[in-house]
Structure 1
Amino acid sequence: MTSQSPMGPWTYEGTILKNPGHFFGTSGNNHHAIFEFRDHWYIAYHAQTLSKAMGFSKGYRSTHLNQVSFHADGLIKTITADMKGVEPVKCLHPYTRVEAETMAWSAGIQVEPVFNGDLAVTALENGAWTAVANVDFGEGASTFTARICNESDVGGIELRLDQPNGIVIGNVSLPIADSSDHWQTISIEIRGAKGIHDLYFIYTGIQADKLCKLDYWQFEQ
Structure 2
Amino acid sequence: MSLDKENIYYFNGTAYAGKSTMVKRLAEKYDGIACEENYHDELQETLDKNEYPCLTYTRDLQDWHDFIRRTPEEYASWIDGVTLECERLELQILERLSGQGKKIFVDTNISVETLRKISDRNHVAIMLADPEISVKRFFERPDKEKQFLYQLLLDEKDPDAAIENFRQCLKLINSKERYDKFANSGFNVFIRDESRSIEDTMKLIEKSFGLKEVNSGDS
- TM-score when normalising by structure 1: 0.23
Higher helix proportion: 2
Q: Comparing both chains, which one has the higher relative contact order based on Cα–Cα distances under 8 Å and sequence gaps of 6 or more?
A: 2
Higher strand proportion: 1
